[in-house]
Amino acid sequence: MMRLPVLRLSRLGLRARLSLGMVAVVLLTTLGVATAALFVVKRHMQEDIANEQFDRISAIADAVDQKFLSRRTLLKTFGNSVEAQHIADSKLLQDFVMQHKSLKEAFDNVAFVDRNGDLVANLNGADKIGKVNIKDREYFLRTVAAKAGVISQPYRNRLNGLAQIAMTEPVLNSQGEVVYVISGAISLKEQNFLGELANIKFGKSGYMFIANTDGIVIDHPRKDLILQSVNAEGGRNPALDRAIAGFEGTAEAMNRVGVYGLYAFKRSSQTNWVLGGIYPRSEAFARIEEIERYTWAGALLLTALVGGLAFVVMRSQLMPLSQLHEHMQVSRAVSNYAPLEQVGPKDEIGDLSRTFDSLMLERQIAHERLRSSERFLRDVTDNLPAVVAYFDRHQVCLFGNKAGLAMRGKTKADIGTLTMKESLPEAVYKQLEPEIAKVLAGTATRYVGTYDRNGKEGFFECHLVPDIGHAGEVFGYYVMTFDVTRQKVAERERAAGEARIRTITDNLPALVSHVDASLRYTFVNAHVRALHDNAELVGQSMADVRGIEDFKMVEPYVQRVLAGEAVTFEMTGYRTRGLSQNWYQSHYIPDRDQEGIVRGFYAMTFDVTERKRAEIRSAESEKRLRGLTDNVPALLTELDRDERVVFCNGRYLTWLGIPPSSMMNRPIREAVGDAHYEMRKPLLARAFAGEEVSFEQTAKLLVGERTLQTTYLPQRNAEGEVVGLYILANDVSDLKQKQMQLDTLAREDALTGLPNRRSFEEHVREAFARSRRSHLPVCLMFLDIDYFKSINDSLGHAAGDAVLKEFGRRLKESVRETDMAARYAGDEFVVLLEGVTDADEARLVAGKVISAMQPVFHLPSRTLQVTTSIGVAISEGDEDFPALLACADSALYAAKKEGRNRFIMAASRSETQEARYGSSFARREQLVQ
C-alpha cells in the first residue's frame, strides 16, 4: 500500500507555525467572543426585562400601600371627629355617619359597632342596625385587644355574599377604653380600590394578581378565583409558593396551565398581601432570540475575513523576533550588558526587545541596591543602644552589631568564628545557658540578669528568638540585649517610696485606700485590712469587699468622683462589735494621669461619731422649740366632715407659696379649685366612708414639678365614726427616680452593659408569646468563652473582666438590633433571635459571632486571642424556654467536645442524628506580649 505524505508542524518554520496558529486562534477567538458576548447580552437583556417587571410590580405595591395609608388616615380622622364630639347616642351617630357620604368614594360601606360587636351606625342605611353582630370576626377582636386599627383577612360578607376586606379604627373614650370600632369595607371584586392598577398587563397576555401569605387569592383577572386557595384548581406553582414563603424578586416557572413565564413578586408593607405579575416567556424574550440568530451569522462571516488577513500579516510581522533571538545569545556571553541597537517597530515584538533591555539593566541596578541595603542594615544596628547578634544552631556568631563586638573587644573579622560563650562574660553566660537551650528547642524567651558594672551591680534584659524554617527546624537564633540598670534602680527606689507611704497611711487615724477605674482596690492601709479581718483586698472589686447593699449607698459618689469631681459625704454604720450606731465622713479625690484622665480615686474615711452625736443633741434641742408639723417634709391638712380646712402646715408656703392662714376655714373645693376637686371627689368620698386611700400625683411646686404620694386617713371619734380626714402628701420624686435607677440596674449587667439574666428571661417570655401568635420559631444561642478560667487564673480578674467587656461589645455588634444578646452567668452569654425562618439564618448569625471574636483582644497590658463555642437551638412550636435552653446547652457541650471555636446546631426531634455545622477557626490560644 502506498503511504501518503503527512504534514508535520514540527518541520515547519516558526513563522509558518505562528501564522497557522494565528488563523486557528482567530477562528476560536471569534467564535468564543461571539459566544461569550451573546451570553452576556442575553443575560443582561433578560435581567433588564426581569428588573423592569419587578420595578413595575414594586411600583404597584407602593401604590397599593399608599391607598391603604390614605384610607387609614381617612378612618382615623373620622374616628377623631367622633371622639372630639363625644357622640354616645346611636341615632346621633347614624346621623353623623350619613353626613359623610363621601366615604363611599373610598369604601363600599362604613359602619360603627360597639364593644359587643353590634352594628350601631351604617353608611348603607339604618335598616341593618341592631341586626348584625361581628364579635366573632377576627379583625374586630384584634382591634379591641390592641386598641389600634387593623386590616382584616379577606372574608365573605354575611349579608350580600361579596368578597371583602375591612379596615378598622377604634374610637376611645377619655379613659382610653374602646367605645366603638369603625369598619370600612372594601370589595375585592370591584375596582373602587385598585382602580386602574387592576388593568395593568405585562406584554399581550401577561397579567397581575394578588394573594396573601395564607395562600388566598385577593385579586385576579378571573374574579371567580377570589377568596379561593391558590391551589384550588389543582397543581402547584413553585414560584408562587416561594413568594408566599417570603421571596421577593423575579423567577421563571411554569404555571398550572403549562405556560412558562417570568414572574415578579413584591410584598405590601401594610398587609400580608403578595403582589405578583406573570409575563409569558415567549413574549418576554422574543427579541433576544432574534438577536441571537443575527449574531451567529455575523460571527461566521467575520471569522472568514479576519482569519485570511491575519495569516498574511503574521508572516511579515515576525521578522524582528529572529533579530531579538540573536541579541539574547550574544548577551549571555558578555559580562557587561550592551543594549540592543535597533529595538524594532513600536509593537509587541519591539516592546519585548525594550523589556529585555530594561530587565537586564534593572538586574544590574538590583545588585547595587542589595549591597546598599546590607550597608544600611549594618548602619542601623550599629547605632542601636543595644547588643544585636545572630548565632547559628552551633552558637557561632554570623552577625553582630558594633555594640556587641566592642563589648568583648572584637571586630567584624571575628564574625563566623566567635561563639556565644566567647562573646559573653562567664558569669553572664552561665545565667543564659538554660535560656539558650530553650531557644535552640524552638521557644522564644526573655531573661533579666545581673552583671559586674565597674564594680557595681548592673542589670541586663536579653531577648532570644529562634530562627525556624518552614519544616520547623531551628537554624539559629537572634539575640537582642538591653542595659536595664536604671530601670531596676528606679523600681527599687519606687518600692522604698511605697514602703514609706504605707507606713504613713497605716498610722493615720483613718481608712485609706486607692481604687482604679474598674473599681478594684490597688492599695489599702492597715486599718482597712483590720476592718476586714486582714483579708487580701488588693485586686478585689469594691462591690465584693463592701457588700452589695453598702456599695449601692456609695455608688452615686463613686460615679461622681470617676467623672472628675472631688466628693465629701457622710453615712451611718455599726461597729463590728456591738450595735451602737456610728457616723463616718468620706472624702473621694480623683486620681488623674498626665493627660488629665481619671484613672481611679483616693478614698479617706474618718469616724465622726462624736461630732454627729453632738449635732444630733443640738438639733433635738432645737426641734422642741419648733412646731412639729411645720418641719414635716410633707403637706399636712385636716378636713372636717363638711370638707372644710381646719388645719394645714407651713409646707404650703414653702412648697406652693400659699400662706396656711389663707386656707383656714375654707371648703377644700374652693381652696384647690373646681377642676382639681372633681378629680379627687371620688377618692374623698371613699375616705369619708372609712377607707384609707393612697395615690400618687404630679404637682408643680416652687422648686419645679415633683411627684407627691398622697394619703387620705379617716379621723374617727370614740364611737368609730368618721368625723374628718387627715391628708398627708409626701414628696417621693427622689425615691421614684432611685427606684427607676435600681430597676435599670436590676436588668443590666454592670460589667458588660448587656441585659442580665433576669432581663433576658423576661424578654424570653414575651418572645415565646409572640412566637406562638405568629407561628414563627425562635432561635436560642448559648455561648461561653473558651478557656476563660485559665485567663482568670493566669492573668487575674482585671484581665478577665476586660475580656468579658470586650466579648460583650463584639457580641452585641454581631447581631441584629431586633435580636437580644445578654450575659447569662459568669462567662456564659445567650442570644435570642426572633422570626427565624430557617436554620440558615441562625448559622449566618452564629458564623458572624465566631468571626467577630477572631481579632485579638487588646487588654490594658497585653493582647490576647479569645475564642467562643456556641450551641444553637431552634424551637419547633411547643417547647418552653427551659427545654430550648437544655437543647442549646447540649449543643454547646458538643461544640466544646469537638474542639471549641465553633458552633453546633442542636438536632431537631425529627432527625436521627445530630446535624453539625462548625467553622474551622479552631486554633491554639496565644498570649502576645
- Mean pLDDT across the chain: 81
Angstrom CA distances, 252 to 255, 303, 886, 906, stand at: 10, 35, 43, 35
Q: What is the pLDDT of residues 392-438, one digit of tens each?
A: 988 888 888 877 777 767 777 778 788 888 888 888 888 888 999 99
Position 468, amino acid: I
Angstrom CA distances, 256 to 207, 236, 283, stand at: 15, 6, 18
What's the rounded Cα separation, in Å, for the pair 256 and 254? Answer: 7
Range picked from 123-127, 188-192, 779-783 for highest mean pLDDT: 779-783
Q: In this predicted structure, what is the pLDDT of residue 33?
A: 75
Q: In this predicted structure, what is the pLDDT of residue 755?
A: 93
Q: What is the pLDDT of residues 539-579, one digit of tens each?
A: 889 888 888 888 888 899 999 989 999 999 888 765 544 45
Position 434, amino acid: P
Cβ-based neighbour number of residue 563 at 10 Å: 10
Q: What is the average per-residue pLDDT within 231-241? A: 79
**Measured at the alpha carbon of residue 712, what is the angle toward residues 709 and 718, in degrees to the nearest 5?**
145
Question: Looking at the predicted structure, is the pLDDT value of residue 884 above 80?
Answer: yes
Q: What is the average per-residue pLDDT within 163-179? A: 88
DSSP state for residue 413 in the 8-state scheme: G
Q: In this predicted structure, what is the pLDDT of residue 214?
A: 85
Q: In this predicted structure, what is the pLDDT of residue 32?
A: 77
Q: In this predicted structure, what is the pLDDT of residue 786?
A: 94
Q: What is the enclosing helix (H) or strand (E) of 699?
A: strand 693-701
Strand order in 273-280's β-sheet?
A: 217-219, 207-212, 273-280, 260-267, 249-254
Q: What is the pLDDT of residues 287-315, one digit of tens each?
A: 776 677 777 777 777 777 776 776 667 66
Q: In this predicted structure, what is the pLDDT of residue 929?
A: 24
**Using H for helix, E for strand and C for coil, what is the string for 183-220?**
EEEEECCCCCCCHHHHHCCCCCCCEEEEEECCCEEEEC
- Above pLDDT 70, what percent of the chain? 84
Q: What is the pLDDT of residues 765-786, one digit of tens each?
A: 888 888 888 888 999 999 999 9
Angstrom CA distances, 440 to 321, 437, 475, stand at: 55, 5, 9
Strands 521-524, 598-607: pairing kind: unpaired
Q: What is the pLDDT of residues 512-533, one digit of tens each?
A: 999 998 989 998 888 888 888 8
* DSSP conformation letters of 524-556: E-HHHHHHTTT---TTSBHHHHH-HHHHHHHHH
Least confident of 52-66, 200-214, 612-626: 612-626
Q: In this predicted structure, what is the pLDDT of residue 831?
A: 95
What sign has the CA pseudo-torsion 392, 396, 399, 405? positive
Question: Looking at the predicted structure, is the pLDDT value of residue 13 above 60?
Answer: no
Cell 493582647 -> residue? 863
Count of positions (residues) in the chain: 929
Q: In this predicted structure, what is the pLDDT of residue 891?
A: 94
Q: In this predicted structure, what is the pLDDT of residue 597?
A: 92
* Catalytic hit among 65, 827, 838, 840: 827
Q: In this predicted structure, what is the pLDDT of residue 374?
A: 66
Cβ-based neighbour number of residue 319 at 10 Å: 12
C-alpha cell at 250: 423575579
- Above pLDDT 90, what percent of the chain? 17
Question: Looking at the predicted structure, is the pLDDT value of residue 350 above 50?
Answer: yes
Angstrom CA distances, 595 to 30, 516, 901, stand at: 70, 16, 39
- The residue that leads in pLDDT, 868 or 374, is 868
Q: What is the pLDDT of residues 702-735, one digit of tens each?
A: 777 888 889 999 999 888 899 898 898 888 777 7
Q: Assign 889 a pLDDT band (cuts: 50, 70, 90).
A: very high
Are 652 and 658 contacting, i.e. CB atoms less than 8 angstroms apart?
yes
What's the rounded Cα separation, in Å, for the pair 607 and 613? Answer: 12
Position 185, amino acid: A
DSSP state for residue 274 in the 8-state scheme: E
Question: Looking at the predicted structure, is the pLDDT value of residue 763 above 80?
Answer: yes
pTM of the predicted protein model: 0.35
**Measured at the alpha carbon of residue 305, what is the angle toward residues 304 and 310, in degrees to the nearest 5?**
100
Of the candidates 196, 243, 197, 253, which has an alpha carbon nearest to the alpha carbon of residue 217? Answer: 243
Are 42 and 292 contacting, i.e. CB atoms less than 8 angstroms apart?
yes
C-alpha cell at 399: 552577625
Cell 361581628 -> residue? 134
Least confident of 130-144, 490-504, 704-718: 490-504
* DSSP conformation letters of 887-924: HHHHHHHHHHHTTSSSEEEPPPTT-SS------S----
Question: Looking at the predicted structure, is the pLDDT value of residue 919 above 80?
Answer: no
Q: What is the pLDDT of residues 799-845, one digit of tens each?
A: 999 999 999 999 999 998 888 999 998 899 999 998 888 889 899 99
Q: In this predicted structure, what is the pLDDT of residue 619?
A: 59
Burial of 619: CB neighbours in 10 Å, binned 0-12, 13-18, 19+: exposed
Mark whether 114 is an active-site residue: no
